[in-house]
């Protein structure tokens, strides 16, 4: 994990500490009451990868991406959250008057902290952050990431994510939500800045249940 990512997470922790001590947020830090601890959900949405050269091969940096998550309430309002989704694209690359068919499969794993009180009826919102790990597999006869541009090629990326969501709870057991996630991840330890990152922007809608 690069130092810039650790500094980012440290700053996020400082923000959480400030929120904990402000009177405005005191309403979130009362007793657990009947707040459910486990939240399970799925979402459908659109992911736009930041990697600049992606569009030269796959035509468009955006595409559908479906996933799911599980969160567990430790103490109000802190939840541990684990998220997973996949992003797939197909494209062609022309080389020496030959069109090469290519296939991209990206699996995204997130683990972090979510600031949210589950089980509330009506509107509420969440903020979360943490680490992201991405597994990429390229199939065809060309790779975006060098190694003499040979495939099949498997690559790993690591970085961080932020997410923001708006929820509507019908009751303590059922919740719908919309969410924006921003992630940054560099391939094999390289920089994850915009244009070089295989992270990106993910906007989704979902449904969650809160069994207990």
Q: What is the CATH number of the domain that holds 142?
A: 2.40.160
Give pLDDT < 50 ranges for the chain.
1-2, 4, 15-31
* Distance (Å) of CA 99 to CA 12, 34, 89: 46, 60, 16
At residue 194, the pLDDT reads: 60
**SS3 letters across 2-49:** CHHHHHHHHHHHHHHHHHHHCHHHHHHHCCCCCCCCEEEEEEEEEEEE
Q: Quote the tokens at residue 186.
A: 């560099």
Alpha carbon distance 190, 196 (integer Å): 8
Q: Which domain holds residue 63?
A: 3-30+45-209
φ and ψ at residue 181, rounded to 5 degrees: -120, 135
- Whether residue 135 is contained in a domain is answered as yes
- Whether residue 36 is contained in a domain is answered as no
- Whether residue 73 is contained in a domain is answered as yes
pTM value is: 0.82
Total structural domains in the chain?
1
Q: What angle do CA 173, 177, 180 make, to 5 degrees?
A: 145
Those residues whose C-beta lies under 8 Å from the C-beta of residue 119, and which sit 6 or more positions away, are: 34, 35, 36, 169, 172, 210
């Amino acid at each position: 994990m690069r130092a810039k990512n650790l500094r980012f997470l440290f700053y996020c922790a400082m923000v959480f500490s400030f929120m904990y001590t402000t009177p405005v947020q005191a309403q979130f830090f009362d007793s657990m009451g009947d707040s459910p601890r486990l939240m399970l959900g799925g979402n459908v949405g659109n992911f736009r990868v930041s990697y600049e050269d992606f569009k030269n091969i796959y035509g468009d940096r955006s595409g559908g991406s479906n996933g799911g998550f599980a969160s567990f309430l430790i103490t109000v309002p802190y939840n541990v959250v684990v998220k997973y989704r996949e992003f797939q694209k197909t494209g062609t690359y022309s080389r020496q008057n030959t069109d090469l068919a290519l296939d991209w499969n990206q699996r995204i794993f997130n683990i972090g902290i979510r600031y949210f009180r589950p089980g509330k009826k009506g509107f509420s919102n969440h903020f979360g952050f943490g680490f992201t790990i991405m597994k990429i597999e390229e199939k065809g006869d060309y790779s975006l990431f060098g190694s003499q541009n040979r495939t099949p090629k498997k690559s790993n990326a690591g970085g961080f994510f932020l997410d923001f969501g708006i929820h509507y709870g019908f009751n303590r057991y059922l919740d719908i939500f919309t969410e924006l996630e921003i992630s940054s991840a560099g391939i094999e330890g390289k920089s994850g800045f915009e244009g070089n990152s295989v992270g990106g922007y993910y906007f989704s809608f979902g449904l969650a249940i809160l069994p207990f």
